[in-house]
Amino acid sequence: RQRRAAPEPVTYLICLHERAALAEAEQLGDLAARRGAVVSSLQETAARSQAGVTAFLDAQRAQGKVADYRSYWVFNGLAVDGDLDTALALAQRPEVAALRPNRRHTLPAPQPGASDAASGSQVAWNISRIGADRVWSALGVTGKGIVVANMDSGVDWTHPALQRKYRGYNPSDPSASTHDYNWFDATGTYPSAPGPNRPRISAQSDHGTHTMGTIVGSEADGSNAIGVAPGAQWIAAKVFDDQGQSTDEWLHAGFQWGLAPTDLNGQNPDPSRAPDVVNNSWGDDDGTLDTFVQDVAAWRAGGIFSTWAAGNHGPDPGTVGAPASYPIAFAVGSVDDEDAISSFSSRGPSPWGVLKPDVVAPGEGIRSSMAGGTYEGGWRGTSMATPHVTGLVALLWEAADHALTVTETERMITIPAVDLGAVGADNIYGYGRIDAFETVASVRGGVFAGRVTDAASDLPVEGASILMRNLDTSASMRTESESDGSYSFRVASGLYDVSATKFGYEDALVRQIEIRAKTTTQLDFGLVARPSGTIEGYVRSVSDAQPVSSMVYLLGTTGKISVDASGHYRLVAPAGTYTVQVRPEVPGYRG
């Protein structure tokens, strides 16, 4: 009788219940100390909570049931190459929260588009569109002192637009350049130095070189100005192979290296050498996928800003992918050279209940660096839009001398974004197209703050829209008042017209408010309520008269309200004529 061969081991991931307590480390002001404390907490939690699992796996390996396993502290889990019996036994252990397949992911292939025929001596159109070149010339800010990274398909470190910006580069002797702590290849394709550096291997093999070019690219003589932050340094993690394929484990490994880079042997992790901002022009089509929530949270706790491509599955709503869909991720959509949303750009809302994308940036007809030392235009995708925001963070952090938190950075990018859709943020454009000049100029400007109240009762008015319009540049900034009525901006010095609007109140406008550098200017608004009435009723099913969970809108206004458990709604609105629309929030009903 022929003997059946034992099945090949399958790689799967184990996720443990315990999470590291990072709140105390997040409060540390010194960035190096903060990252060190975050890594120490993650490592200690993983070592302690994984001890029982690793002892079991060692025993299983001795019996030939496990070929190998690898421990990760960034998400407190392990990757196991083992058999089904071992997987079933692990699932029963109390410290194990979940077993997951080692899912595969494909890097989005560049979508063909119109080629950018601009001369290499000119600043790329997309760089000018967001005002990055004005940041260099008028503000003298180029990203100097900031370290950027990408998790992608690799980078041609010898490219003339990139080589001298590589952190490991030795200009006096390139052969003595240092790749320890500056390069990581989860795929094992280029273990000794960044790659690929030969012409196109596949549709995705140039992807990482192209995205890095949009972040930092330019040649020594100033030609081929394709990058937003040409003064920044870069490092990279290759987590997609040359055919654009990756796995959950490779991506987890890239996250871990990003928080504490290692030498080329994967040893001696050092969080002090972590990048400041990481570009992620990839994602899973399933916006509900929570595989990388802990990884993104660990980066954020360590003060690492990460940018995420929203995805290329528009124009339908709810198409944003993960991790871009996470509330803690900063998602980027794509617009064309006329600031119109790209048809392919994925839309929100996020399945996590938040608005997405956060902002948009140029993502069509993008010219950038290619492996092998060349350039190519015409690339399109949210992968191409995302590096613009990564470069903007580098500019902003240089101007702020590294003094901004991730949350503060998000706010400073979204407030001056150019509003392109409906008034205010939406699930197509987010807060709007990024404006690098207004964002960076605001660091050297002043603070504008105040409080919005009801003129009659003096009670705070929450959700009032505060709009500032710069009289010199016509740039506008928008925010909303908080629950206590307060609001604040950090804006460039200059003269502004400021308005406050809220549904149910008369608009208020104050002209020519002067903002001075390093000065706080206070302006309070007392809004006058308009004569109003009430619209109320019930939303019920025609078939059985049961309440239907819904939102009720007054079209053409910001007036809206959810029905209660009985289906009842009550909206106070200024006197006038309205069209009332009901949008059911459960399937099977038409509004």
Residue type, 484: D
Dihedrals phi, psi of 567, to nearest 5 degrees: 90, 5
Cα radius of gyration (the chain): 26
Q: What angle do CA 329, 332, 337 make, to 5 degrees?
A: 170
Q: Could you report how far apart the first and last alpha carbons of the chain are, in Å? A: 68
Per cent of the chain over pLDDT 90 is: 88
Catalytic residue IDs: 152, 207, 383
Cis peptide preceding 269, ω within 30 of 0:
no
Residue type, 251: L
Contact by Cβ (8 Å): 186, 254 = yes
The mean pLDDT of 538-549, rounded to a whole number, is 92
The mean pLDDT of 67-78, rounded to a whole number, is 98
Residue type, 450: G
Confidence band, pLDDT 50/70/90 cuts, at residue 422: confident
Confidence band, pLDDT 50/70/90 cuts, at residue 423: confident
Put simply, whether the predicted model's pTM sits higher than 0.85 gets the answer: yes
Torsion of CA 123, 129, 134, 137, to 10 degrees: 0
Instruction: Of 153, 123, 163, give the one whose Cα is nearest residue 245.
Output: 153
pLDDT tens digits along 139-198: 999 999 999 999 999 999 999 999 999 999 999 999 999 999 999 999 999 999 999 999
Contact by Cβ (8 Å): 489, 483 = no
pLDDT at residue 117, as a whole number:
47
pLDDT tens digits along 35-45: 999 999 999 99
Instruction: Of 503, 213, 479, give the one whose Cα is nearest residue 368.
Output: 213
Confidence band, pLDDT 50/70/90 cuts, at residue 112: low
295 alpha carbon, distance to own chain's centre:
13
Helix (H) or strand (E) holding 150: strand 147-152
Say if residue 588's pLDDT is above 90.
no
Say if residue 559's pLDDT is above 90.
no
The mean pLDDT of 561-587, rounded to a whole number, is 92
Q: Which two tokens stand for residue 361?
A: 């940036």
82-91 contact pairs (CB < 8 A, 24+) = 82/9, 82/10, 82/12, 82/57, 83/7, 83/9, 83/10, 84/7, 84/10, 86/57, 86/60, 87/10, 87/12, 89/56, 89/60, 90/14, 90/53, 90/56
Q: Is residue 153 helix, strand or coil?
A: coil
pLDDT at residue 113, as a whole number:
57
Torsion of CA 484, 428, 143, 108, to 10 degrees: 140
pLDDT at residue 1, as a whole number:
47
The mean pLDDT of 554-580, rounded to a whole number, is 92
Cα dihedral 96, 98, 104, 110 sign: negative
pLDDT at residue 203, as a whole number:
86
pLDDT tens digits along 484-507: 999 998 899 999 999 999 999 999
Residues paired with residue 59 on neighbouring β-strands, in sequence order:
none
Q: What angle do CA 447, 497, 412 make, to 5 degrees?
A: 40
Average of per-residue pLDDT values in the chain = 94
Q: Where are the beta strands (DSSP E) in 111-232?
A: 147-152, 183-185
Confidence band, pLDDT 50/70/90 cuts, at residue 585: confident
Burial of residue 155, with CB atoms counted within 10 A of its CB: 0-12 exposed, 13-18 middle, 19 or more buried: buried
Helix (H) or strand (E) holding 353: none
Q: How far is residue 516's CA from residue 178's CA, in Å, rounded to a whole number? A: 45
Q: Is residue 494 helix, strand or coil?
A: strand
